Every structure is written in C-alpha cells, then in structure tokens.
Amino acid sequence: MARFIQLPAKEGQYAFILLEHVLRHYLPRFYHGFEIVSTHAVRVTRDAEFGLVRRRDQDLLMTIEQGIRERRIGDAVRLQYDPDLPSEVLRQLIEELELTQNDLYAGKGFTAFTDLFQLYAALNIPRLKDTLAPTGLREHFIDLIRNEAEQARAGKAARIIAKLNSLIDESVVEELYAASEAGVQIDLLMRGMCSLRPAVAGVSERIRVISIVDRYLEHARVFYFHNGGNPTFWLASADWMPRNFKRRIEIAFRIPDPQLQTKLKDILELQLVDSVKAWQMKPDGSYVRKPSTDGRGFRFQERFYEMLRAEEISGSSKSITVDGHDFQSADDIAVIRVPREEMPQNDSFRHSEGYDENLAREPAWVQTAWCTFRAKSDRLAAGPAMTQIFRCARIQKPATKAVAPSAPRSHSIP
C-alpha cells in the first residue's frame, strides 16, 4: 500500500497524508474497547538478496518474481523508528527481529526510495521530473542531439561533448552522424565499446572519439549540449546502449547550478587535451596514441588528482604562511597574474617542477586550486615558463598582523 495517500486538492496543487497518520486516526475503531496509550511508526528493512538458480526450462521473469516474493520473509537488517518509541517496545523489536545496535536508525519522518517514487509518479511538475529509462531516455538524448543539429543548420554555434562508457545504440549513432553532417562539432570520450566511426568523409567528419586509459577507471556519464549559447549539462547512470535504454531502470538529470556547470565543462575540456594516456579512434575503428600539440605531455588524471587534493586542503583549518602573513585557510588567498619579470625573489616563489608549462592553458579555477595546493605545501605556484607566473596574494585580513610587503603590479584573473 502507498505510504503517501493523495487527498483532493485544487488544480495545480497537491496534498498528501501519511499512511501511519491515517492508521493512527482510526486506531480506536480497529481496537474498540481498548485505551490507545501511544502510537509510533517503524520500518523494517529485510535482506534484499536472493539466490537466482534457474533451469533451462524455467522462465527467467517468473524466477525473479518468485525470488522477490521470498525476499519479504528474509532476515531483518535495519530498523527505522520514531525517537520517542518506548524503550521496552524497542527492546522487544530488537529481540524478535534479531537485530544489533548497528541496525538501529532513529529519526522523525523517515522515508525510503519507494516512498519518493510514489510522490514522483503522482506529481505532474515538469521541473521536478528527471528523464528515466525505459520510458523515454533514448528519445530524450535524441531530441537534444537533433536540437544541436537544428542550431547548426541555422548558422549558430553547435557542439556536443559526451563522456560515457559505451556507445552501440544504432539510433543514437545515426543521429550523431546526421548532426555531424549538419555542422555540429562532436567530441566523444569513450571508455569501452563504440560502434560509431569518426572522421569518415561525408559521414562523421566533425566527430572525434577519445579514450583515456589510465590508473583510475573512467566511469562517469557526463553530457554537454551547447544549446544555442545556453548550455545544458546532464549526468546519467546510463550508457548509450539498447540494454540501458529499454531493459534497465536508468536516470538522467540536469545540472542547473552555474558553478557546477563551469566545473563540468572544464573537466571535459581538460580530458580532451590529455596527450599522455589518451587514445584517439581512427576511421577504421582502431586506436592510436593521441599526439601532443606542443611536444609536452598533459596527463588529465594526474592533474585532476592534484585539483581534488587542492580542494580538500583548501577546506582544512590549518594555518599557512604567505609573504610573512599567517592565513587561517586557503579561502584567504587568491590567484593573481604577475608579469614574470616582476616575480619577487624569495623562497616562497620557487618554480613548481613538471607542471608549469601546462598551468597556463588551464581555466582560472584550476589555476586557483593548483596555486592553493602549492601554498599549502609551502610552495606557491610559479610558472609557466613563458610569459606569466602565478602567485598567491592576500585578499582578506590575515590571522596575525604584519607589515605587508610591497606587492608587484597585478591583474585579476577574468
């Protein structure tokens, strides 16, 4: 029975009541002649695993249904309950369900995903609706691809960046070919299977397929659509495969936050310039090492690890010293550009080794994170080796007073 029971409401409005509240209201009728001392809601979660042993002559779906029915009487693994549940009742539940203290979760208004799906199905509010498979996920992505093709035909900028594991869905491949011929620039970051063939004259000249094989498994699904200058970003659980679109429950959801959009875009662009662990697909489906455009190698995962490490350090409470000033956290410093010839000559500005040449090509937030990381290591970023260097500068009052040294002329990063 549904946990949320929908009540009559005005058009465009929704009203629900919890099942336990209905039961609480009618308890005197259920237990006529008894005094109702108190009422409390509990939820018992049982082990969801079951063995799937099937003979050749058995129907797979029926076997799964039977296993799910048997799961209802499995071992209890979790008890959610109201905090004001009497202790003697709680002890009785623990004993009868054979639970431990690690299986107990007290909390008011607890819920589960099954409850949320009931609300999801009942509400007709498009902005709260994510795209799901098997009901419309393939069509959703096809619409996005076709929109980019229309933008290109209208003479507008159009681009698609898709990062996923596998692409073997014939419908999506055909739409990507059509979008390429319409003028859409398409970059695909693939980890596994890809039945599309890039750079084929008259078919996929504007499509590039890159695969990064490195220490960490590339498993994310991220999608960028230029959308006529109003980009949309999507994260998804599904690859572009028939089994994901039609035989699984999958989801794709939009990222509306501008800061997260910027970060996702920067990560995708950085992956596209990897020249150490990246492989590029040829028109015949084979892969070759992606060449470096400037003779210097750029390894995305190595840089991304440093960026994540920098963000972790920047959130710590340790004090750091910059130009004789103590700062409580990296939030008190920012990155500014300084002409190389004006770089202060002191130990705080030592050259970083191995990465300076690549730093200038990265977006501002990456430069900030890298500089923060170096500052935490008492090595402020200095480099690249060409025209500019980056240094950390005070933008808030330092933790301890000190006479500020004369700062070189600076320009804020745009």
Beta bridge partners of 287: 281
Q: What is the pLDDT of residue 58?
A: 65
Q: Is the pLDDT of residue 330 over 50?
A: no
* End-to-end alpha carbon distance in the chain: 56
Q: Which pTM value belongs to this model?
A: 0.58
131-289 — its CATH code? 3.30.870.10
What is the C-alpha separation between 124 and 321, in angstroms, rounded?
55
Q: Is the pLDDT of residue 175 over 60?
A: yes
Mean of all residue pLDDT scores within the chain = 76
CA 259 to chain centre: 13
Show contacts of 109-118: CB within 8 Å, 24+ apart: 110/41, 110/43, 110/80, 111/3, 112/43, 112/45, 114/3, 115/3, 115/4, 118/2, 118/3, 118/4
> Residue 86: what pLDDT?
92
Sheet with strand 42-46: strands edge to edge? 42-46, 76-81, 104-106
In whole angstroms, what is the distance from residue 253 CA to residue 58 CA? 37
Whether pLDDT at 402 is above 60:
no
- The pLDDT value given to residue 292: 78
pLDDT value at position 75? 83
Which carries the bigger pLDDT value, residue 64 or residue 265?
A: 265
Pick the residue with more confidence: 41 or 375? 41
What does the pLDDT average to over 158-186? Answer: 97
Residue 98: what residue type?
E
Q: What is the mean pLDDT of residues 115-127?
A: 76
Q: Give me the pLDDT at residue 50, please.
A: 65
127 vs 377 pLDDT, higher one: 127
Write down the domain spans for the chain.
Answer: 4-122, 131-289, 300-412
Reported as a single tens digit per residue, the pLDDT across 249-276 is 898 999 999 999 999 999 999 999 999 9
Tokens encoding 213: 């094989």
Sheet strands side by side (includes 232-236): 131-133, 250-254, 232-236, 222-225, 159-164, 185-190, 207-212, 278-281, 287-289
Q: What percent of the chain has pLDDT over 90?
A: 43
